[in-house]
Amino acid sequence: MIGLIGLGNMGLPMAGRLAAEGHPPRVFDRDPARRALAAAAGGQPVQSLADAAAPLVILSLPDDRAVASVLAGLLPVLPRGAVIADTSTIDPMAARRFCADCATAGVAYLDTPVSGGAAGAAAGTLAMMVGGDRAALGAVRPALSLIAARILHVGDTGAGQIAKLVNNLLVATHLVAAAEALRLGARAGVPPEALLPVINAASGRSAATEVNWPRWIASGTFDSGFSAGLMRKDISLAMELAATVAAPLDLCARAGAAWAAAAAPDDADFNHVPAQVFGA
Ligand code: NAD
């Protein structure tokens, strides 16, 4: 049995995927409307955190605070030997604290942040970056493989989150850089629709030009399922980590400032930020 807590843009398709693969999870979200959606997707909704207890509990929560609050309700009722796979993107230091709290309760905690978005969660093709005990990962790897096509053990607790923050800082920076470069081309007379096939056949390409621009920006759909607010959170966490370990950031910090300054509200799709940079 799998418990799944947090049924937002990522947790909901994870629930659907697990159910479709024959493992309908016990699903909980503090928002009853999300629980109803997860039930429609094949999950088994429960009315309290405690009822979601299971040998494997997957978390998909917005931030450290939500994870702390869920663990406070869950740890007293989880069976000893249970494993928590936390797919939320959070501070690596918080992940280490959570791991220690879980160890005291006889529970293993893995930081298992993911990349691949809502579509990847629905298709079971996420990339998962894992920090923590290898034996605990071995025990739950078959279940996690139902949602993640690539599961990469990065290192000790927190290492998965560090990898995720490095990745998303690069994504945020690539998106701003691509928007500025495309704006240059457009102002010089070559619009994105002419530039993108060239860049994507050449060495300037990135996920920003290969995926974000055609799929969500040029199309005008802006429906990636990842919000500007969550990307701003990831950038802030990456900047805090950089300060903690004294790793200077210059270019990435400027890109981060562009994300902070962009008019797109936190609940807007994150692709609005590069679109606004392009249009500025
Ligand atoms: P979301 O805001 O859409 O969903 C979060 C869900 O958690 C909401 O349904 C909310 O009601 C629920 N929740 C919040 N606090 C809770 C609590 N205390 N108890 C129970 N439920 C609670 O977020 P999301 O886009 O699904 O992202 C989830 C996590 O995954 C975030 O940490 C995000 O950074 C990360 N992530 C998101 C994406 C993406 O494409 N959306 C991709 C990779 C990683």
Mean per-residue pLDDT for 134-152?
Answer: 98
Question: If you measure from the C-alpha of residue 10 to the centroid of ligand 1, how many angstroms do you get, rounded to a whole number?
Answer: 7
The position carrying tokens 């053990």 is: 153
Residue pair 11/60 in contact by the 8 Å Cβ criterion: yes
Q: Using 50, 70 and 90 to split pLDDT, how confident is the model at 45? A: very high
3-state secondary structure of 95: helix
**For the whole model, what pTM was predicted?**
0.97
The 10s digit of each residue's pLDDT in 196-237 is 999 999 999 999 999 999 999 999 999 999 999 999 999 999
Contact 8, 41 (CB under 8 A): no
**Chain CA centroid to CA 5, Å:** 14
Candidates 119, 123, 141; CA nearest to 212 is: 119
pLDDT in tens, 88-113: 999 999 999 999 999 999 999 999 99
Q: What sign does the CA torsion over 253, 259, 263, 265 have?
A: negative
Is residue 5 a contact partner of residue 30, using CB atoms and an 8 Å limit?
Answer: no
List the catalytic residues.
164
Q: Is the CB of 88 under 6 A from ligand 1?
A: yes
- Our answer on whether the CB atom of 69 is closer than 6 Å to any ligand 1 atom is yes
Secondary structure (3-state) at 22: coil
Token representation of residue 279? 């249009």
Mean pLDDT over each residue of the chain, to the nearest integer: 98
Angle in degrees, CA 170, 171, 172, rounded to 5: 90
Residues in the chain: 280
Identify the band that residue 26 occupies on the pLDDT scale cut at 50, 70 and 90.
very high
- Give the position, in ligand 1's atom list, of the atom nearest the Cα of 113: 44
Write the pLDDT tens digit of every residue in 248-262. 999 999 999 999 999
pLDDT band at 11 (very low <50, low <70, confident <90, very high): very high
Q: Quote the pLDDT of residue 233.
A: 98
Cα 87 to averaged position of ligand 1 atoms, centre (Å): 9
Mean pLDDT of 55-74: 98
| Contact between residue 129 and residue 113 where contact means Cβ atoms under 8 Å apart | yes
Specify the pLDDT at position 127.
98
Given this model, what pLDDT does residue 173 score? 98
Average pLDDT over residues 128-135: 98
pLDDT tens for 172-197 read 999 999 999 999 999 999 999 999 99
Strands 114-115 and 126-131: antiparallel
Residue nearest to atom 13 of ligand 1 (CA): 6
